[in-house]
Structure 1
Amino acid sequence: MKKITFVFSSTPHSTAQGREGLDAILATSAYSESLQLVFVGDGVSQLLKQQQPQSILSRDYISAFRLLDLYEVEEIYVCRESLNELGFTEQQLFLDAEVLDSEEIAHKLATSDVILRF
């Protein structure tokens, strides 16, 4: 079975990319058990607690990331350097994710058969 990696590198709510990526993960999980998610760059902000998308008249899709457990998506990684560059900490993330350095992220990407970027 092919390993599929979903890379999130865009901020939430500025475009539909985050929501579309989440929809793609949930749909793909019905057909594949070999999924991993990687949050890099601005994408780490997808996982921040206490977002208020309604204040910019945006739909709250972020809370749906909690469904990943139900869909048995367990390989979730966040780039340590991205967190540091943006001034965030692991405690500010609402989802349990393994924090890796950029070299470890590169290795995860290298082991993937398919990479989809959102």
Structure 2
Amino acid sequence: MKHIVVISQQAPYAQQSLKEALDLLLIFAAIDQEVTWLIEGDAVFALAAEQQPKLLGQKDFTKALKMLELYDIDSLYVCAESLTDRGMDDSALILDVKTALTQDKQALLAKATQVVVL
């Protein structure tokens, strides 16, 4: 079994990269791969409550994030520095994620068989 780390760095509605990351996670989990999702940079905005993507003409994919639990994907990490830089903290996030410091991210990457950055 491979351990795949998917890293999201792009803002949630600027491109489709977060939706693509979510799709990848679900596909990898469906074929019994161990998957971890690391959310950093502007991608942390995808976890903020009270989003209104319809104002941008976008479909709200945050409901699909609940699918992660159905696929037993529980290795979800958010970069602590990215949250702080954007004036956020983990108490305001829509998912239960672990915060990752730099050394935590390095440990995740060291365990990975494959890393996908979107």
The question of a shared fold, defined as TM-score above 0.5 by the shorter chain, is answered with yes
Displacement over 2 Å in runs of 4+: none
1: CA distance, partners of 2:92 / 2:33: 28
Deviation at 1:81, TM superposition (A): 0.7
What is aligned with 1:54? Answer: 54
RMSD: 1.0
What is aligned with 1:89? Answer: 89
What is aligned with 1:77? Answer: 77
1: CA distance, partners of 2:33 / 2:69: 12
What is aligned with 1:35? Answer: 35
1: CA distance, partners of 2:32 / 2:112: 13
Aligned residues: 118
1: CA distance, partners of 2:95 / 2:70: 13
Q: Is the 8 Å Cα contact of residues 4 and 33 (structure 2) preserved in structure 1? A: no
Residue identity opposite 1:117 in structure 2:
V
- Can you list the C-alpha shifts for 1:57-112, whole angstroms capped at 9, x where unaligned? 10111221111000100111111111001110111110000112112112111210
Residue identity opposite 2:88 in structure 1:
F
2: CA distance, partners of 1:59 / 1:105: 30
Deviation at 1:50, TM superposition (A): 1.3
Tell me the percent identity. Answer: 28
User: Which stretch of structure 1 is more off in the superposition, 29-38 or 51-60?
Assistant: 29-38
User: Which stretch of structure 1 is more off in the superposition, 89-98 or 40-49?
Assistant: 40-49
2: CA distance, partners of 1:22 / 1:40: 14
Unaligned runs of 5+ in 2: none
TM-score (norm 1): 0.95
- Can you list the C-alpha shifts for 1:14-70, whole angstroms capped at 9, x where unaligned? 001111111111111111241111011112112111111001110111221111000
Unaligned runs of 5+ in 1: none
